[in-house]
Structure 1
Amino acid sequence: MADIGAALRARRGFALATVNLDHLVKIGEDPAFAASYAAQDIVVADGRPIVWLARLAGETIELLPGSDMIVPLCSFAQEAGVPIAIIGSTELALQDARAHLCAALPGLEVAYAHAPPMGFDPEGDTAAEVLRAVEASGAGLCFLALGAPKQEALAARGRSLAPSVGFASIGAGLDFLGGHQRRAPAWVRAIALEWLWRALSSPARLVPRYAKCFAILPALIWRTWRAK
């Protein structure tokens, strides 16, 4: 995290992704998503299975969900005198997230906010215009709440079209901040059952996703143990 503060002070762009099992599934299925991930400068663990696999490999890493990083990253930006940008979700959710952040960090400047329409293509011309607008706004840190794989693709593209901006892909983080989605209670997260909370809240959408995640676990455990 200290490296991010230094990058913000130097106005040196970066792309930060938060890896979880769902992303590993997508990486295996989608070469374009795998390429987007390869273009990220920083990848942190957004899921306990990632932390556990790292331990199996003899490495110690910290759990850093994207939602938990928003305020600390904004604090780094404020200390560096760098405005932020927020992209994703809906206009109302962005307004509420902005209000939450400015209340938590008085004086924080939100230089750019944009809620893309349905069908937003991170590789299209409109996305290029958005990235150039972020660069022109003076923002040094941009949160992307578009969901995978769109946010990681946009962050990777931003490395060339907005080279002074640090992009952080945070999924539903802005919706949580603004109260438009409810995150699992702290005690549920503490016992590593946030995935179950989310699955029960939207079973039709999330149960198939988590089934794929569990399906790849045995092979990941075996490969990690062999690599150790």
Structure 2
Amino acid sequence: MQSQIRPHAVLWDFDGTVADTEPLWIDSQIETMASYGVTSRHEDLARLCGVSADVSIRAHFASYEAQHGEPPPMTGRALWEQITAGVIRRLNSQPLPWRPGARELLMGLHDRRIPMALVSASPRAMIDAALAKMPAGVFDIVIAGDEMPRSKPAPDSYLLAAERLGASAADCIVVEDSIYGTEAGRAAGAAVIAVPSIQELDEYPGQLLTPTLAGISVDDLNRIWHQVKGI
């Protein structure tokens, strides 16, 4: 029966899921903090992938105070705008670094007219720069991190995306690469496809852990939803 076909919509994370942009964020953060005399470690910043701007800012402020022995001279907003500008500059200087299989699955879903949302913890300015490099009209709605009072791992953004698409989150698939993002998808009640990029991910009920989206077709998603949901 048609009512048994899932997913009703697919909700995508962006950084590390659609495109391999996590390294751009890490490089921009290293560059930005270096301009304030702060040395940042790649492995520490990798653990921040998928977190909100507020969490990242607090981590950078703590690093500044630890290395300088005094509070930072900049505001959190100014720091995050500088980091975001660095990411946008890097994005604009190269083709979009698609993650394996992401473009093919996105376009297959688009061709089949399955509703899709882009749900990111990144700010709108960065997301708009990325969307300019993607086929127009792929996503029905876009929710950016600076548009939500609570970011991932709270489920709010995924619940809102499903609602705006006229679906229940329980009938959706969330595609994510980060610890916080997969947690948000599970908390929303969606079936989660977890595709690690920078961070290692663990197995959890409610999600399928796979090394890549390459080879996953639109027709596979109904099977994956039922497999994850145990239905």
* TM-score normalised by structure 1 residue count: 0.35
**More helix by percentage:** 1
